[in-house]
Structure formats: C-alpha cells, structure tokens
Chain A
Amino acid sequence: MYLSGFNLEDCGKAAAVAAIAAGIVCVGEAAWIHAKASLAQVLIGAAWRRELAGSSRTQPWPWADTRPLARLTVREGRRAEELIVLEGASGRNLAFGPAHDPASAMPGEPGNSVIEGHRDTHFAVLRGIKTGDTLRVETLTRRDVDFVVTDIRIVDSRRARIALDAEQPRLTLVTCYPFDAPVPGGPLRLVVTADAIHYVNAHQ
C-alpha cells in the first residue's frame, strides 16, 4: 500500500526530469543545426578563398567530401547575403551550405544551374525575394555573372520537375515551402528562376 504511492511519486519525478533532459537535447540539436550552418559557411568561405588563390587544398575541412563551387550573392532590397555554394545536393552538404545539383549546368555557364538550400538556414533569405531582385554568381573560371529574378513560383515537388535546358545561363534556387511549416518534409517548394543579364557567350 505504501509501496505503490512511493513508486508513483518517484516515477512522475523521473519522467519530469527525463522530459526536461529530452527538451534540452532537442533544443541543443536545433541549435546545432544552425550553428553548423553558420560555422560551415565560415570554413567554406576560407576554402573558397584558398581555391581562388589557386590552392589545391579545396576541401573546407580535412574530411569533407565536397568543395566550394561558386559564391552566390543574393541582393534583396538593400540587404545582400553572400553564400558559398557547395558541390552535390546531398542532405549532408545541405546542412553546410546551399548545394549545386550536379546534373545541372555549372553556375554562370549556359544552361540551367539548380541550387538547393535549406529554407530555415541559408535560403531563409529567399523569403522576401521579388522578381527584379538581382543575384550575382562568382565562379573560379567566370567571374561575376549577374542574374535577375524573372519568375517565382510555388510547385508541388511530387508533380513538378525542373528542366535543365536553357540557352543562356540561368539559376534556379529551390527551397522548401512554406517557410513556417513546423513539420519538415512537406511536398511544396519555392522555385526562384533568375536569368543572366548582359551575358556574352565565350565563343563570340
């Protein structure tokens, strides 16, 4: 009779402590996602500068299996956000920076270059983007190609596909939508299309 009461009290307390601990772990995990996203961009930025300088050591950290591909500047109103784009749009790379779909054209080259980024870290900047905003891409071989946002649409990723053709350089930035949906993994995507301005073909 005494035993059960004691147990219940204790269990409740233990559960409460466990809940608090789990909560702290969750918050920590969330913090880690953001910290990783910010920290990685710093390391990748350093690797990018090394790459521009001609160094062969292009990995942002020794065990990285990706390398910086281009610098993307998103100018939205007065704000400008610089992001280093990584090679290969795997889930792991996306944690560190916006990533380039290797099936698509290289950024700044003729063709459609697809860059995907997390809606709540690097590509949170796309929340306020408007047609007419400008983007700039700097790559190792072709410096400073400017783009203007020509189309913004929300698509259902189960139905839509992105075509990779384009006669001129084109950027397609993709991020999850809506920005505020609490549960990740929804089917909608925000697709921002930008076309090159004053592009001169290298053949000419």
Chain B
Amino acid sequence: MKYLSLLIRSVSAAFAAATLTFAAAPLASAHASLDVQSGTLYLKSSPDAEAVEALRVTTAMQAQVTGNVARVRVTQTFSNSGKDWVEGLYVFPLSADAAVDELVMTVGERTIRGEIQEKVQAQANYAQARSEGKRASIVDQERPNIFTTAVANIAPNSTVVVEIAYLETVPYRDSRYTLRLPLAITPRYTPGAALDPGASLAAANAALVNVANGTSATSERVTAPLQNVDITVELAAGFPVSSVVSLHHTVEVNDDALGKKIHLAGRGIPADRDFELVWTPAAGGEVAAAAFAERVGDDTFALLVLTPPNVADDTTQPREVTFIIDTSGSMQGPSIEQASAALQMGVDRLKPSDRFNIIRFASDYSSLFTVPQTVDASSRIRASQFIAALRADGGTEMRAPLEHAMSAPPSAGFLQQIVFMTDGSVGNEAELIALIHEKIARTRLFTVGIGAAPNAYFLEQAAAAGRGSYTFIADREQVRSRMQDLFRKLERPALVDLRLLWPGNLTPDLAASMPGDLYAGDPLVILARLPRAPTGDLTLSGRIRGEDWIHQVPITRVDEHSGLSKLWARERIADLSRQLQFGGDRAPLRASILDLALRHHLVSEFTSLIAIDDAVVRPPGSSGHVEQAPTSGPAGGYWAQTGFAKTATPADLLLLCGLLSITLGSFCYWVSFRRDLAP
C-alpha cells in the first residue's frame, strides 16, 4: 500500500512538474478540448472552417476543325472524394466568340442532355432540383469569355461528367490559321473595389451568394496552376497544310484519313497557359477568300472569310504613336519583360519624322514626356531609360491613361495611333470598351496582348472599338515576329471602303456591321442571313493603296449541320451586347438577345444551359456543402507559388511519450521492488 501511494505521489508529482513547466504554454487548453476528432473534421459544416477540399475537376478538350470552323468539346469531370454530398462549382475560360450550344451530363450509365432556358428560369430550376436532391448541372456565362459550371448533388466518392460543346470560326490572320483554347485565367482587377470589411467578406463569399440567389457573378477562385488538361485536335483544313505548330505546348502530330490529328504529349499537363495551334497552307494554297452558305428552314446563313492581299506599303505619312504599357501587379514576371521588349522594339522602329510618347500605368499613371516628342537620339535614350526602369506592381487603373492618350490634340499631317500593351486583366471591360468607342475620334488603337493567359476578349474588343487591330505575345521568342505583324498594320489600312454585293441583289441581314477598313494580315469574317439561297458569286470591292480592287468569290453550299446559323446568331448576340455596353436601350436589346439565344440554343448573358436528372439521389436529411474548384492562373513569376513548412512541433508527442514512459517505468520498478521485498 505504501508503494502504491508512493507511485501515485511520484506520478502526480511528474504531472505537476509538467503542468508547471507548461504554465506559460497554451497546452492545457489544447488537451482539454479533445472533442474534435480528426475524422470528423472532413464533415465540419460551420461557416467559418470549410471542409477539406474533396472536389476535383479535370478537363479534357477535343476540337474538330473543318475549314474555317472549329467544334470544341470540353469535358469536365467533377470528382468528389469526400464523405459528404457536394455541390461543385468551376469557373473556366472559353473563347470569347464561342457559340456554346450543348451540355451533356453523364453519371455512370445515365446521360442527360441539357436544354437552353432563360438564365433566371434555369437558375431557379437548378436550385429546385438541388434542394429536391436531384443531380443537376448548369452552365452560365459570367463574362463574355468566362463561364461557370455548377453541379448539384455529387454523391460521396462519385463522379459526374459534364460535357460542353461550342462552335467558333477559325480565321486566317497574319498568314496563319490559329486555334486558341484558353486554359487559364489571369485574375481580374476591378478598379474602385471597396475594401471595407463587409465588402471583403462579401467578395469572399460571392460564389456561395451567387448560387443562393442567382444574381451576382461568381468570382474566380484563381490559384497557382493546379488543374491538368488533355487536348486533342482533329484538323481537316480543306487544303494541303505545310506546317502545324503548337506554340506553347509539346504535341504529337499524326496524319489520318481526314487530315491531321494533334495530341498534347504526355499526361498531367498543367493548364497554366493558353493552347495555340497554328497551321499554314502549303505554298500556292493560300485562300484569299471563301464563302459558304447553309440552309436552315426558310433561312439561309452565309459565312464569308476574306484575307486582303498582303501588300508592301511605301507610305511616307509620319505617325504620332502613344505607347501605353500596363505595369500592374498581374504583369509581374515574364509579362513585364515581354512588354518591355516589345515596347523597346516599337520605339526602335520609329522613323525620325515620327513623334512618340510612353505612358505607364498601374494604380496611377505617368508619362515619359508631357507632350509627344520628335524621335531623335536624346528622346530615344530617355525612352530606353524609362523602359528599363519599369516595374510591375499595384492595381490596374486603365481608364485615366487611356483617356489621357485619346484626348491628345489632333496634329495635322500625323497619323495618330495608340499602342496599348496589357494582359487585359480588368473586371470593368465593358466600361473601358465603351470609353474607347466614345473617345477614339480620329486616333486608332492597337492592342498587344501580353502573357500566358491574356484576356483576349478585352484586347480584341478594345481594338475593334478603337478601329485598330491586335496581336498577342505569349513568350519572349514571339516578341519580334508579333511586333512585326503589328507594325505592318500600323503603317496604314490595307483595304478601305470595302463593299459587298450579293448575287441576285439579295439584301443580307449582317450579324454585325461591316468594318470600314482592314489592316494588313487581318481577316474579314462576315456572317449574314439571306432571304433565300444565293445563286452566283459574291462580289467584293474596295480600294487598296488608292486603287480600285474587285474580287469575285463563289459561294459553296454546305450541309445544315455545319452550324453557320449558330455562328451568325452568336455574332449577332455579341453585336447586340456591344450596343448594350455602349448605352443602348436595354429592354429591346435584352429581348432580342434572349429571343436569338433561345431560338439558336445558345448560352448568352441572359440564357443558360441546364440538365436535370429526374431521379432523386440524395436521401432527405443528408447534408451537403458547396465547393468551388480552383481555376488555374497563368504560368510565370507572377504565379510563383509557395508550399508549406512543417508547422507542428513534436512537443505534444514528446510529452505524451514521456509521461507514458515515466508511468510505465515507475510501475515496473514498483513491481520488481515488491518482489524484492517478498519473502
């Protein structure tokens, strides 16, 4: 008995000592609350601590290119590896002129085909299906080139496959055909975003709020590149192809019966840069112009693709060029290097008779000169110093520098041009495009898209509103060739006063208004609806270098599944959306967009694709939560990522082992001591 009390005394003394030692440490509290078991953490539903991410989304893309049209299928696999029912959200980029017309949801053997509905209606139906425990998926357009897929009621340890399909035109531009598949999103900066605590919280929960009430846009949850992608392209160019090159990915190219088959080489390729496949016709196979017509019901839809002759220019008119360069935080890393190199090249190409200025902007803006200066040795040196000192940091406040550049007083005898270099990662695209449209006057705006995942929609639309053209630079090696493309365009328009004469005096209903001028290397893509099938050739006329130019194009009939009607409707919707942005009358424009989108089965800002499985799968009473899978950000220094240090000390483990070992040792000692004393 004596020894027992001794043991108890010694153990309690050890505990007391331990407790005393840790008086300053928060250990006591840590051990007192063992109520949370590690296993239950996965199911934690408190709003403050989200569950461990169980949702993964993997993407595969399959593109079929037939002549000038691409049909792209995007397969998103939502896998829930958790123990909870999950509603999955995924925000992803698509080409800005994608006519998204198909949604197919597959769960095991079941396949449900999606239908187009007015967005508000679709979201209400989706919410209802979700609360009833049915599997449902919905595809919404958040921005012209950013879409969201939501999938309700993904069972624990199961997978739902969502397939989205779209059509787009593949024009011949700058002597090559380019199929661009956007894979990453450069996070958008929205100027003037409120920073009070309430607003920040709202932003953090925007995704959840969006699903709850179907109003505000889902904010992208962009992270360092984590998503993988698999890409296959079947290329039936319709002419002998001299080269097929993937600009940013390693691919395998094989010949097959219809043309070429291109595969992304390897597995698990990170979706950290846009995919660009470029092909060129074999010598002599260049198609200057082609026209196609498709009959759907009573209507005929026509597509005309024209590339103006690439003529050398001998213009002597001096130019006044204002370069605007984006030095915001999103340009950090390779982007700012590419932009600086492109800018330096732009300055080097100027002639002594030209004038120029450089404006840099981030949260604020500043310019090299107060007014444009003549190109000479001293201004060139100052420009080089200015460029060398550029650093990327801060916000993306584009409005002020653009306004400043466009408000330059007209200078007689000079072609006034703005060369705008940016990744376009802004949230207020509509406002900026409207500003350019309104203020551009006689100036011409050219955009240079920088980086691995630029906002192509903004860059193209800004150039269209600024009546100029655009080019993209994705890596250092492209700077020279792409800037040369741009300089050719900058010299002067290649084809002006363009007119179309349809056979049989047909009056076409053009999807968008005709551009007045075409720049060297830029294609003309016209989509028209005709009252009846055309018989005969289409006549094009215009002026090149002051001389009249006429061209006849035969119209090829294509079958009605080629999708020209959808492309026409998509282009018309884009044109109506532009009118909305420029302050058009909202109600009738909205009604027209809605009508077109419903009739042609297209996703738009007012319509969504929705698929609902009628079977109830989630048992009533079982809980679920929402998870948004991260969207990959672009590769590069800007997305430099950090891992995790080991942030647990072995203190608890040591203490536990120590006390256990002391207790055990004391007990053994006591037992052997007892035996010693035994007679």
- B657's nearest neighbour on chain A, judged by CB, is A26
With an 8 A cutoff between CB atoms, is A140 at the interface? no
- A185's nearest neighbour on chain B, judged by CB, is B646
Q: Are B665 and A20 in contact (CB under 8 A)?
A: yes
Q: Are B36 and A182 in contact (CB under 8 A)?
A: no
- A175's nearest neighbour on chain B, judged by CB, is B647
Q: Are B668 and A16 in contact (CB under 8 A)?
A: yes
Task: Tell me the chain B residues, 656-678 only, with Cβ under 8 Å from chain A.
Answer: 656-669, 671-673, 675-676
With an 8 A cutoff between CB atoms, is B587 at the interface? no
With an 8 A cutoff between CB atoms, is B638 at the interface? yes
The size bracket of the interface on B is 35 or more
Contact string against A for B residues 1-41, beta-carbon threshold 8 Å, 1 for contact and 0 otherwise:
00000000000001001100110111100110110101001
- Measured in the bound complex, the distance between the Cα atoms of B193 and A196 in whole Å is 12
Task: Tell me the chain B residues, 395-427 only, with Cβ under 8 Å from chain A.
Answer: 395-396
Q: Are B329 and A167 in contact (CB under 8 A)?
A: yes
- Measured in the bound complex, the distance between the Cα atoms of B667 and A150 in whole Å is 52
User: Which of B197, B224, B329 counts the most chain A CB atoms within 10 A?
Assistant: B197
Contacts of B663 in A (CB 8 A): 23
Q: Are A31 and B224 in contact (CB under 8 A)?
A: no
Q: Are A95 and B649 in contact (CB under 8 A)?
A: yes
Q: Which of B18, B31, B661 contacts A22 (CB 8 A)?
A: B661
Closest Cβ of chain A to B212, distance in Å, is 17
A25-B658, A165-B332, A183-B653 known; A116+B644 contact, CB < 8 A:
yes
Contacts of A118 in B (CB 8 A): 647-649
A27-B14, A175-B647, A197-B197 known; A16+B665 contact, CB < 8 A:
yes
Contacts of B656 in A (CB 8 A): 182
- Measured in the bound complex, the distance between the Cα atoms of B17 and A169 in whole Å is 45
Binds A, one of B46-54, B127-135, B294-302, B310-318: B46-54
Q: Are B651 and A33 in contact (CB under 8 A)?
A: yes
- Measured in the bound complex, the distance between the Cα atoms of B663 and A24 in whole Å is 11
Contact string against A for B residues 351-382, beta-carbon threshold 8 Å, 1 for contact and 0 otherwise:
00000000000111000000000000000000
- Measured in the bound complex, the distance between the Cα atoms of B7 and A20 in whole Å is 12
Q: Are A130 and B48 in contact (CB under 8 A)?
A: yes
A131-B204, A185-B648, A197-B196 known; A9+B25 contact, CB < 8 A:
no
Q: Are B329 and A111 in contact (CB under 8 A)?
A: yes
Closest Cβ of chain A to B246, distance in Å, is 26
With an 8 A cutoff between CB atoms, is B393 at the interface? yes
Q: Are B18 and A31 in contact (CB under 8 A)?
A: yes
Q: Which of A37, A110, A123, A155 contacts B329 (CB 8 A)?
A: A110
- Measured in the bound complex, the distance between the Cα atoms of B30 and A9 in whole Å is 40
Q: Are B30 and A159 in contact (CB under 8 A)?
A: no
A16-B668, A27-B654, A184-B646 known; A164+B641 contact, CB < 8 A:
yes
Q: Are B640 and A103 in contact (CB under 8 A)?
A: yes
- Measured in the bound complex, the distance between the Cα atoms of B652 and A60 in whole Å is 27
- Measured in the bound complex, the distance between the Cα atoms of B224 and A152 in whole Å is 18
- Measured in the bound complex, the distance between the Cα atoms of B643 and A160 in whole Å is 8
User: Which of A34, A94, A123 counts the most chain B CB atoms within 10 A?
Assistant: A34
Q: Which of B18, B195, B204, B639 contacts A151 (CB 8 A)?
A: B204
With an 8 A cutoff between CB atoms, is B203 at the interface? yes
- B226's nearest neighbour on chain A, judged by CB, is A161
- Measured in the bound complex, the distance between the Cα atoms of B639 and A28 in whole Å is 43
Contacts of A23 in B (CB 8 A): 14, 657-665
Task: Tell me the chain A residues, 20-47 only, with Cβ under 8 Å from chain B.
Answer: 20-31, 33-35, 37-38
With an 8 A cutoff between CB atoms, is A174 at the interface? yes
Q: Are A27 and B658 in contact (CB under 8 A)?
A: yes
- B203's nearest neighbour on chain A, judged by CB, is A150
With an 8 A cutoff between CB atoms, is A15 at the interface? yes
Q: Are B38 and A178 in contact (CB under 8 A)?
A: yes
Contacts of B653 in A (CB 8 A): 182-184
- B329's nearest neighbour on chain A, judged by CB, is A167
Closest Cβ of chain A to B429, distance in Å, is 16
Q: Are B53 and A166 in contact (CB under 8 A)?
A: no
Q: Are B51 and A120 in contact (CB under 8 A)?
A: no
- Measured in the bound complex, the distance between the Cα atoms of B26 and A177 in whole Å is 16
Contacts of B655 in A (CB 8 A): 26-27, 30
With an 8 A cutoff between CB atoms, is A124 at the interface? yes
Q: Are B654 and A12 in contact (CB under 8 A)?
A: no
With an 8 A cutoff between CB atoms, is A114 at the interface? yes
- Measured in the bound complex, the distance between the Cα atoms of B657 and A30 in whole Å is 10
With an 8 A cutoff between CB atoms, is B108 at the interface? no
- B676's nearest neighbour on chain A, judged by CB, is A9
Q: Are B197 and A189 in contact (CB under 8 A)?
A: no
With an 8 A cutoff between CB atoms, is A80 at the interface? no
Q: Which of B47, B363, B651 contacts A120 (CB 8 A)?
A: B651
- Measured in the bound complex, the distance between the Cα atoms of B204 and A150 in whole Å is 6
Q: Are B664 and A34 in contact (CB under 8 A)?
A: no
Contacts of A163 in B (CB 8 A): 222-224, 633, 639, 641
Q: Are A16 and B645 in contact (CB under 8 A)?
A: no
Contacts of A34 in B (CB 8 A): 21-22, 24-25, 27, 651
With an 8 A cutoff between CB atoms, is A59 at the interface? no
Q: Are B665 and A159 in contact (CB under 8 A)?
A: no
Q: Which of B36, B52, B658, B676 contacts A30 (CB 8 A)?
A: B658
Contacts of A22 in B (CB 8 A): 658, 661, 665
- A178's nearest neighbour on chain B, judged by CB, is B38
- Measured in the bound complex, the distance between the Cα atoms of B675 and A12 in whole Å is 11
Q: Which of A18, A162, A167, A199 contacts B665 (CB 8 A)?
A: A18
With an 8 A cutoff between CB atoms, is B471 at the interface? no
A26-B657, A30-B655 known; A154+B41 contact, CB < 8 A:
yes
Q: Are B36 and A178 in contact (CB under 8 A)?
A: yes
Contact string against A for B residues 200-244, beta-carbon threshold 8 Å, 1 for contact and 0 otherwise:
110110000000000000000011101000000000000000000
With an 8 A cutoff between CB atoms, is A77 at the interface? no
- Measured in the bound complex, the distance between the Cα atoms of B652 and A21 in whole Å is 18
- B654's nearest neighbour on chain A, judged by CB, is A30
With an 8 A cutoff between CB atoms, is A13 at the interface? yes
With an 8 A cutoff between CB atoms, is A55 at the interface? no
Q: Are B201 and A132 in contact (CB under 8 A)?
A: yes
Closest Cβ of chain A to B225, distance in Å, is 8
With an 8 A cutoff between CB atoms, is A71 at the interface? no
A16-B668, A131-B48 known; A27+B662 contact, CB < 8 A:
yes
Q: Are A198 and B196 in contact (CB under 8 A)?
A: yes
Task: Tell me the chain A residues, 99-149 only, with Cβ under 8 Å from chain B.
Answer: 99, 101, 103-104, 110-111, 114, 116-121, 123-125, 127, 129-132, 134, 148
- Measured in the bound complex, the distance between the Cα atoms of B650 and A91 in whole Å is 12
Contacts of A19 in B (CB 8 A): 661-662, 664-665, 668
With an 8 A cutoff between CB atoms, is B461 at the interface? no
Q: Are B642 and A164 in contact (CB under 8 A)?
A: yes
Contact string against B for A residues 86-102, beta-carbon threshold 8 Å, 1 for contact and 0 otherwise:
00011100110001010
Contacts of A178 in B (CB 8 A): 36, 38, 41
Q: Are A33 and B650 in contact (CB under 8 A)?
A: yes
A118-B649, A156-B53, A163-B223 known; A9+B641 contact, CB < 8 A:
no
* Residues of B that sit less than 8 Å from A by CB: 14, 17-18, 21-22, 24-27, 30-31, 33-34, 36, 38, 41, 47-53, 187, 189, 195-197, 200-201, 203-204, 222-224, 226, 328-330, 332, 362-364, 393-396, 633, 638-669, 671-673, 675-676
Other A-B pairs, 16, CB within 8 Å; known A20-B661, A180-B33, A188-B41:
A9-B675, A18-B665, A23-B662, A26-B661, A27-B654, A27-B655, A28-B658, A95-B649, A120-B27, A152-B48, A157-B643, A159-B226, A162-B644, A167-B394, A178-B38, A193-B204
A-B contacts, 9 of them at CB < 8 A, read: A16-B672, A19-B661, A30-B658, A31-B18, A33-B651, A35-B21, A116-B644, A120-B652, A156-B53
Q: Which 9 A-B pairs have the closest CB atoms?
A: A26-B658, A19-B665, A23-B662, A23-B661, A184-B648, A27-B658, A176-B648, A20-B665, A16-B669
